[in-house]
Amino acid sequence: MKLLGLAGLILTGTVSAQPARIPVRALANNVTPAERELDTRVRELGRAFDGEVGIAVRDVDTGFAASWHGDRFYPQQSVSKFWVALTALQRADAGRLDLDERVTVTRADLTLFHQPIAGRIGANGYTTTLGDLMFRALTQSDNTCNDIVLRHAGGPAAVREMLERNRLEGIRFGPGERLLQAGIAGLRWQPAFSHGNAFFTARDAVPAERRRAAFEHYVADPVDGATPNGIANGLARLQRGELLSPASTRRLLAIMSQTHTGPNRLRGGLEAGWTISHKTGTGQVYDGEQAGYNDIGILHAPDGHNYALAVMIGRTGTPLATRMALMQDVVRAAIAYHDAVAAEGGDR
């Protein structure tokens, strides 16, 4: 599939006073024991996992980063909702989008797969605000809510422009949920797929050879792909206030801290006093293998320190418990690193 260009353009001001960027520091000769241990542990976790996985852990404040296959592209699936929210909030900061605008969701807006808002749509639709739809898209991973926010924020082209303008490299954005999921299944999107079991019935009728080819093509070169290092960089820049106004930064992090999906993924590795703002992503399964099982987020330490994490499982048939254990172990590795730095007398 086509690689969406992410050529660097000069960042234009949705944020009035940006702090200086902190460069990434990968493992080098002058690393501390804590940094070396984190790097070793991340590599061990990635190497031991039975499947295609990429991992990135980045210390937001110092820039130190450890990764496993951190520059490979993996399917994002619903992780991409994070970039939609970022685009919408940047436009709101610039006065180009009103998140308090009231919109009416109708059955014509329905997409597919997870869309809990469908249960709220009555004969006259369901009226709420764009901000509420963004909240539902992030915390419930509601595909229909996300699609409406995406539309109001300018569509896929606007998200790609946001990524380019902010120099968020290693991130692709796909064609939208309907076209993306239909393509993975070897189908052409039809509006009827949004209702009942129509999509599943059509998918089951796709010849095995065609469906296998579509699945393999997507996994090999995901149109919505992202690199773990690229995601960790975007998360770190959000946390440092480089991408949004202070109010919008707080708003997005607060929403992501209330995510309901994936409670046993990254969130399952938290220790007392630690919190996380995160977004999950889950792809289709074909012949026992899943294309995309992810969680990304910002891990918040009790002392205010922050870590950007991305665990992207591109393809695997391992049990869900094994995948969740990997994600929890990545969180534990970051916490162990934090504690080791403190024990070394590191500057917090």
Q: Are strands 74-75 and 65-68 parallel, antiparallel or unpaired?
A: unpaired
How many domains would you assign to the chain?
1
Distance CA 336, CA 142 (A): 34
CA 26 to chain centre: 22
Percent of the chain at pLDDT exceeding 70 = 91
* 319-329 pLDDT tens trace: 999 999 999 99
**Are the beta carbons of 54 and 227 closer than 8 angstroms?**
yes
Q: Considering only CA atoms, which of 236, 331, 216 is closest in space to residue 21?
A: 236
Q: What is the pLDDT of residues 296-322, one digit of tens each?
A: 999 999 999 999 999 999 999 999 999
- Residue 242 inside a domain? The answer is yes
Q: Would residue 182 count as lying in a domain?
A: no
CA distance 233 to 63: 9
Nearest to 276 by CA among 243, 242, 246, 253: 253
Domain that holds residue 263: 24-75+224-348
Confidence of residue 344 (pLDDT cuts 50, 70, 90): confident
| Residue 300 belongs to a domain | yes
- The CATH number given to whatever domain includes residue 33 is 3.40.710.10
pLDDT above 80: residue 17: no
**Would residue 198 count as lying in a domain?**
no
199's CB contacts (< 8 A; 6+ apart) are: 112, 113, 181, 182, 185, 187, 193
Q: What is the pLDDT of residue 5?
A: 31
Residue 256 lies in a domain: yes
In-domain check, residue 99:
no
pLDDT band at 26 (very low <50, low <70, confident <90, very high): low
Residues forming a β-bridge with 293? 282, 313
* Position 56 in a domain: yes
The DSSP line for 132-145 is HHHHHHHHS--HHH
Q: Contact, 105 vs 126, CB < 8 A?
A: yes
pTM of the prediction? 0.91
d(Cα 228, Cα 67) in Å, to the nearest integer? Answer: 8
The pLDDT value given to residue 30: 78
Q: Is 12 within a domain?
A: no
Name the band, by pLDDT with cuts 50, 70 and 90, for residue 24. low
